[in-house]
Amino acid sequence: MSEKKYCKDCNKNVKHEEFHHQGNRCKKCRSQKSKNRIDALTGIQYAKHLLHQSCIRALERCRRNEKKHYRGVEIDWEKPLDMKNALMEKEDFWYEWLRLTEVYEISGRKDTLRPTLDRIEADIEKGGHYMLSNIQALPHGENTVKGVGTKCKVMFIKNLRPFRVADYESMEAVMKELGISGRNVLNVIKNSGRMHEIDSAYSVFVQTIDGQLKVQDTPSYKAVITMKKFLVDNVTGKEYLIGIRQNSFYTYGIWFNESQMMPE
C-alpha cells in the first residue's frame, strides 16, 4: 500500500506521488492556490506577471530549438527576470505592455488580446533575434497572424457564388487585404472548411497550399442536392418539368481547387 499524506487545504489524505514536496498540500490544491493568486492580480502587478511568463516562454523556445520558426533564433538574456527588467526599463515598450494588459483585463482576459512578445524582424538572416531593439508588444491574435508564413489560397464568395481565387504568401497578407485585425484572426481559421463572412458583401474560404481539411467534432453544413427531370419537346425546344427529387447530407467542411471554379 502506497504511503499517504494529509493535505491541509482539502482535508484529505492523498497518495505520496500526488503530494507536493513543499507547503503541506497536494499538487491539485497547490495548483489551484497558484491560479487564485494569479487571478487576483490586477494592473501593474498583473502586467509584470504576464511579462515574466512571456520571457520564460521566449527563453524556452530558443533553448529547445524545436519549432521551425525559432530555429537559430538567439536571445540576449540568460534569465527571464533579467529580460523582464530590461524590457520594463524600455519606456515605449513598457507603456504599450501596460496598455495591452488593461485591454486584456477589460475583455475578461480574452486569449486573442493577451499581450505577447513579438520580434519586429523575424528573419534571422536580417537580425531577427530576441534583443532589446527588436522586441515589441503585440496582442496574441496579431502575433499569431504575423508568425504564420504559410502560403494560403483564398476563395471569395459573393451572393453564394465563388467569383475569385487568390494566392497569398502568408495569413498576415490575407488579413491585411481583407482588412481584419489580429483581434479577430481566430474567427478566420485556415483549413477549417468553413465560410467566413467578411461583411455583408462577401465571404471567404481560407486554406493552405497542400493543406488538409481540419477534423471537426460536428458537421459544419447541411448540403442539399436538387435533381430535376425534364421532358423536352424536340420541335419547340420547350422543357416540361416532370419530376423533382432532393437528397441532403451533412458535411464537416468544404475543400476547393481552382478547377472547381464556375465561369461567371
90 lies in some domain = yes
**pLDDT tens string 151-168:** 777 888 887 777 788 887
Regarding predicted confidence, which is higher, 210 or 90?
90
Asked if pLDDT for residue 69 goes beyond 90, the answer is no
Residues 79 and 44 in one domain: yes
Q: Which three cell numbers stand for residue 100?
A: 495591452
Q: How far apart are CA 186 and CA 174, in angstroms?
A: 13
* Last residue in a domain, options 147, 174, 200: 147
pTM score over 0.75: no
Last residue of a domain, one of 98, 114, 147: 147
- Say what the pLDDT of residue 162 is: 78
Per-residue pLDDT, averaged over 6-21, amounts to 72
Of 147, 169, 191, the one marking the end of a domain is 147
Q: Is there a single domain that holds both residue 90 and residue 137?
A: yes
Asked if the model's pLDDT at residue 180 lies above 50, the reply is yes
The cell for 180 is 481584419
Residues 6+ apart with CB under 8 A from 186: 111, 112, 141, 144
Structural contact between residues 182 and 169, judged by C-beta atoms closer than 8 angstroms: no
Indicate the number of domains in the chain. Answer: 3
105 and 195 housed in the same domain: no
| In contact, 25 and 9? CB cutoff 8 Å | yes
Confidence check: pLDDT of 242 > 80 = yes
Tell me: do 45 and 102 sit in the same domain: yes
Q: Give the whole-angstrom CA distance, residue 6 versus residue 82.
A: 38
Task: Name which residue leads in pLDDT, 123 or 178.
Answer: 123
**pLDDT number for residue 137:** 93
Element spanning 244, H or E: strand 239-251
> 210 and 111 share a domain?
no
pLDDT of residue 203: 80
Residue 264: pLDDT above 60?
Answer: no
What does the pLDDT look like over 114-135, one tens digit per residue?
Answer: 999 999 888 888 888 999 999 9
C-alpha span between 174 and 127 (Å, rounded): 25
Q: Which contiguous run of DSSP H or E holds residue 92?
A: helix 91-106
Q: Are residues 199 and 228 in the same domain?
A: no
Average pLDDT over residues 67-90: 89
Q: Residue 65 belongs to what domain range?
A: 39-147
More confident residue, 172 or 167: 167
